[in-house]
Amino acid sequence: MNAKPVPTSPALPAGRLEEQFADKAPLYTSSEALAEASRCLYCFDAPCMRACPTHIDVATFIRKIGSGNVKGSARTILDANLLGASCSRACPVEVLCEGACVYTGWGRKPIAIGRLQRFAMARGASPELLPRAPRTGKSVGLVGAGPASLACAAKLVLFGHDAVVYEKGTLPGGLDVSGIAPYKLDAESALDEVRFLLALGVELRTRVEIGKDVQPAELLAKHDALFLGPGLGADSRLPIPGADGAGVFGAVEWIARMKLDPQLSIAGVTHAAVLGGGNTALDVVREFAQLGVPNVRLVYRRGESELPAYAHEWSAAKKEGVQLVPNAVATEIVLEQGRAKALKLARAHDGKPTAEALPALDADLVVFAIGQARLAEFAARFPDVRTTKEGRIETDASGRTANARIWAGGDARNGGMEVVNAVAEGQDAARAIDAELRAGGVTRGS
């Protein structure tokens, strides 16, 4: 166990690929923020607030920027979303708040809600803004230090409970730190937010693996309630020849190393191929393109119009020079001296491979972005915690599992959604846990 789980800023070594990216939507200056805030109509029952999974009162926080009450603005955000800083940068605002902005429906440029939220959080947020209830002496253990657990833990601390987060790895923050496209949110900024949450009083223990370093029964004995936010498992890979060669990565693994590992280099890479068509695949192709890889191809088993990724992401990727190889499935990664060299393809019909071979592509870097494994095994370690047939942890609407003392949230529960969804689930679970703890419904050893 680590006494100082998050080193003081900066925590990460220099020389990481992430540092080469430009911030696509930099922090506003005060005058920029005022100008943008002044455009906001301050809608009644604003659609942006409804579109946000955490229901941030957007119209109010923007009005407070306009009045110069930036601390109050940050408090309005934090009241609804304790990870408002990273959400302001990681959220697909085009399909959430900004997509719902009445200006969008009017054919005008929507209010830059994400950037205003980033401004309010950067300039106004501090731990003392948040009111906290008297200590209750109750304790909740949280597994995994991703956004769901951190949001849940911080909310519980504000409710007066003790919250201890157990993280298997060395860094907290989950995909918020290791998985967001660097032109949106860099790892160091995400760690700053973790520091903010820990400053509220959340206790973090890193390098603690369930089943190895600590047993579920011990956690149940030690805490009044548990929250499971383990995320998803390893990247899936197609079972094709060459899939284990050098220069072949899983998408989540590649993004994490690009953001955190100074050893990772793409020097000399001229042809990158990403297999998949979802938002993670789009992040990876855009990252390659922005890092200057000359040929970046997205190999997808269906047509362009069927890409499951957000339309705005694909349109941006195209502008950055990414080429789509549609209706194609990889059949072999050709290795040369153990390293990826080319990608053999079969034509796909309706998403399924056919016998017809397509011309092979040069590929010295191949990334599988076809999903992550579920953690059914992990869930099974906890008594009465069940998973759906898709491998998601089964809960009621509040996030409670069939074990009355265990809640769950985040990717392990929703199958893999946005940071803001994980935050919403973590906070909802915190409210439910708080109600149960206060009602005496659950206690240690019950």
- List residues binding other proteins (CB under 8 A): 31, 34-35, 37-38, 41-45, 47, 50, 66, 102-103, 105-106
- Rg of the chain, C-alpha, whole Å: 22
- Which of 312/438 has CB closer to other proteins? 312
- Which of 32/261 has CB closer to other proteins? 32
Residue with tokens 């409210």: 431
Tokens of 342: 């080319």
Q: Taking the complex as a whole, how short is the minimal distance between the CB of residue 106 and other proteins, in angstroms?
A: 5
Tokens of 162: 């003790």
Q: Taking the complex as a whole, how short is the minimal distance between the CB of residue 50 and other proteins, in angstroms?
A: 8
Q: Taking the complex as a whole, how short is the minimal distance between the CB of residue 100 and other proteins, in angstroms?
A: 8
- Which of 69/139 has CB closer to other proteins? 69
Q: Taking the complex as a whole, how short is the minimal distance between the CB of residue 119 and other proteins, in angstroms?
A: 14
- Which of 107/359 has CB closer to other proteins? 107
Q: Taking the complex as a whole, how short is the minimal distance between the CB of residue 27 and other proteins, in angstroms?
A: 18
Sheet holding 323-325, edge to edge: 248-250, 365-368, 271-275, 295-299, 323-325
Q: Is 363 helix (H, G, I), strand (E, B) or coil?
A: coil
Q: Taking the complex as a whole, how short is the minimal distance between the CB of residue 75 and other proteins, in angstroms?
A: 20
HSE on the CB side for 416, CA within 13 Å?
18
Q: Which residues of 370-390 are buried (b: 16+ CB within 10 A; e: fewer)?
A: bbbebbbebbeebeebebeee
- Which of 107/445 has CB closer to other proteins? 107
Tokens of 321: 């020079």
CA 357, 359, 360, 362: dihedral to nearest 10 degrees? Answer: -170
- Which of 43/243 has CB closer to other proteins? 43
- Which of 40/83 has CB closer to other proteins? 40
Q: Taking the complex as a whole, how short is the minimal distance between the CB of residue 103 and other proteins, in angstroms?
A: 8
**Whole-angstrom Cα distance, residue 254 to residue 63?**
40
DSSP letter at 135 equals P
Q: Is 129 helix (H, G, I), strand (E, B) or coil?
A: helix
User: Do the Cβ atoms of 148 and 425 come closer than 8 Å?
Assistant: yes
Residue 58: closest CA among 82, 70, 72, 42: 42
- Which of 98/167 has CB closer to other proteins? 98
Q: Taking the complex as a whole, how short is the minimal distance between the CB of residue 31 and other proteins, in angstroms?
A: 7
Q: Taking the complex as a whole, how short is the minimal distance between the CB of residue 63 and other proteins, in angstroms?
A: 11
Tokens of 234: 């390893």
User: Do the Cβ atoms of 191 and 171 come closer than 8 Å?
Assistant: yes
Q: Taking the complex as a whole, how short is the minimal distance between the CB of residue 347 and other proteins, in angstroms?
A: 35
What angle in degrees, to the nearest 10, is found between the helix axes of 70-80 and 58-66? 170
- Which of 44/359 has CB closer to other proteins? 44
- Which of 37/200 has CB closer to other proteins? 37
Length in residues, the chain = 446
- Which of 31/337 has CB closer to other proteins? 31
Say which residues have a Cβ less than 8 Å from residue 89's Cβ, sequence separation at least 6.
25, 114, 118, 180, 184, 185, 189
Q: Taking the complex as a whole, how short is the minimal distance between the CB of residue 133 and other proteins, in angstroms?
A: 33
What angle in degrees, to the nearest 10, is found between the helix axes of 70-80 and 113-124? 110
Instruction: Please state, as a whole number, how many other Cβ atoms lie within 10 Å of the Cβ of residue 292.
Output: 10
